[in-house]
A and B are shown apart, each in its own frame.
Chain A
Amino acid sequence: SQKIEQNSEALNIQEGKTATLTCNYTNYSPAYLQWYRQDPGRGPVFLLLIRENEKEKRKERLKVTFDTTLKQSLFHITASQPADSATYLCAPRRGNKLVFGAGTILRVKS
């Protein structure tokens, strides 16, 4: 069955550093991979989408990579700020459904 794995433990980093979050998937060949941010008690907010034929995508301080050979996506936040503290979800997709990983909690300390 399809399996999506994200860092199970919370990631604690210092303000100004780069946060790197990992998403691995198995038994799956997604055409797209999406990253979302979720704050407590709120719905996910879309951040970035990367397609299977794209290696890397950037948006302001965010960067996502997609390695279909390793079956892995990395999500980077540069110059992190306390306001970046949240749960980050990866969601690979092929076909109609969007299925989520368990998410990684990021805590940025000032």
Chain B
Amino acid sequence: GAVVSQHPSRVICKSGTSVKIECRSLDFQATTMFWYRQFPKQSLMLMATSNEGSKATYEQGVEKDKFLINHASLTLSTLTVTSAHPEDSSFYICSARPDRETEAFFGQGTRLTVV
């Protein structure tokens, strides 16, 4: 299957700082990428849909000024958690699909810990 690479896999940051997470589709182009958040023992919660060359579409309840998404190219989307706080600690996962009719492929996930 197609490969989606997410980096970093783990990050610890201090409260008040910003953290950037990268998501790359390695062997296909993705006009749309998705960002999810997962709490322990819970399912994935869709945060936003990232569209190449345009603004991201955020789900209800997700603060767009806190979770900045940039989809700079057909193979790269970034999620920046700004002014992070301990409650932002979570597992963040991106996904991408080659086209609308195919399955989505997921990155390895990023464990964010804010101290």
**From DSSP, what is the main secondary structure of chain A's interface residues?**
loop
Assembled-state Cα–Cα distance A108/B34 (Å): 32
Residue A30 interfacial (CB < 8 Å): no
Contact B103–A44 (Cβ < 8 Å): no
Assembled-state Cα–Cα distance A44/B44 (Å): 9
Contact (A102, B42) CB under 8 Å given A43-B6, A46-B1, A96-B32: yes
Size band of the interface chain A makes with B? 10 to 19
A46's partner among B46, B104, B107 (CB-CB below 8 A) is B104
Residue A49 interfacial (CB < 8 Å): yes
Number of interface residues of B (CB under 8 A): 23
Binding site for A on B (CB under 8 A): 1, 4, 6, 32, 34, 42-44, 46, 49, 91, 93, 95, 100, 102-109, 111
**From DSSP, what is the main secondary structure of chain B's interface residues?**
strand
B105's partner among A42, A46, A99 (CB-CB below 8 A) is A46
Residue A89 interfacial (CB < 8 Å): yes
Contact (A43, B93) CB under 8 Å given A34-B104, A98-B34: yes
Interface string of A28-50 (1 = CB under 8 A from B): 00000010100001111110010
Contact B109–A103 (Cβ < 8 Å): no
Contact B43–A42 (Cβ < 8 Å): no
Assembled-state Cα–Cα distance A36/B105 (Å): 10
Near B by CB (< 8 A), chain A positions 70-110 give 89, 96-103
Contact A46–B93 (Cβ < 8 Å): no
A98's partner among B4, B42, B46, B91 (CB-CB below 8 A) is B46
